[in-house]
Chains A and B, each alone.
Chain A
Amino acid sequence: DAKTTQPPSMDCAEGRAANLPCNHSTISGNEYVYWYRQIHSQGPQYIIHGLKNNETNEMASLIITEDRKSSTLILPHATLRDTAVYYCIVRVVFGGRGYQKVTFGTGTKLQVIP
């Protein structure tokens, strides 16, 4: 699996967009970018994933650069409940066979400030 690099911490004002960067310069062509978050020692929660194109769902948007060496997770209107540790990981998708060894790093601690 490719390694990822994230800033250890970030602050964001409530109501503003939170932009969390991730560097994955050694990503392979068949590796996807996934984002998870962990709120106050709960189990991590899946947010979004993508391969090449930008993706959006009800929680967030994912912007992947054209060379795929970095990505940004965007929380469009951060709330206090978005305060969490955000993990960026890259992994291969085995066509639904469901076999995958996943490595999490230390993530970015996002603090949303009132």
Chain B
Amino acid sequence: NAGVTQTPKFQVLKTGQSMTLQCAQDMNHNSMYWYRQDPGMGLRLIYYSASEGTTDKGEVPNGYNVSRLNKREFSLRLESAAPSQTSVYFCASNGEVETQYFGPGTRLLVL
């Protein structure tokens, strides 16, 4: 049981490039989340998915798109990366009694 996994662990992009951050969970959870965390700040919700086939915007959705591919996978796409999107990205899923399980994070640097 791997829990929540994220790929890649680290990525460097140039401004304007695109990329997709991958997230998968093997705990059969319904809801999944994408957060970003900037230095000295708490977690900010980008998008979430209550169940397979549904997605909703969080606090900071601009510049991102998501896909809930199936119950296990929830991906985050940056279509045209900007330096302001330099951050650490965490994926999470919702378990029993609404506890959240987080992945190890993806560290993204946009030059």
Would you list which residues of chain B between 64 and 87 have a CB under 8 Å from chain A? none
- Residues of A within 8 Å of B96, CB to CB, are 96
- Considering only CB atoms, which chain B residue lies closest to A47 in the complex? B99
Q: Does A113 contact B (CB under 8 A)?
A: no
> Total number of A-B contacts with CB less than 8 angstroms?
70
Interchain CB contact (< 8 A) of A43 among B41, B44, B51, B102: B102
| Contact assessment for A43 and B4 in the assembled complex, using a CB-CB cutoff below 8 Å | yes
Interface string of B24-54 (1 = CB under 8 A from A): 0000011101010100111111001011000
A45 interface contact, C-beta 8 A: yes
CB–CB B29/A98 < 8 A: yes
* 10 A-B residue pairs with CB within 8 Å: A34-B98, A41-B105, A43-B90, A43-B92, A44-B92, A49-B97, A87-B43, A101-B45, A102-B33, A104-B43
- With contacts A87-B42, A104-B43 taken as known, whether A98 is within 8 angstroms of B50 at the C-beta atoms is yes
User: How long is the Cα–Cα vector from A42 to B100 in the complex, in angstroms?
Assistant: 14
Contacts of B50 in A (CB 8 A): 98-99
- Min distance, Cβ A91 to any Cβ of chain B, angstroms: 6
Asked if B16 lies at the interface with its beta carbon under 8 angstroms from chain A, I say: no
CB-defined contacts of B110 to chain A, threshold 8 Å: none
Question: Quick check: is B88 within 8 A (CB to CB) of the other chain?
Answer: yes
**A105 an interface residue at 8 Å Cβ cutoff?**
yes
Cβ B105 vs Cβ A43 within 8 A: yes
In-complex Cβ contact of B98 among A32, A103, A106 (8 A): A32
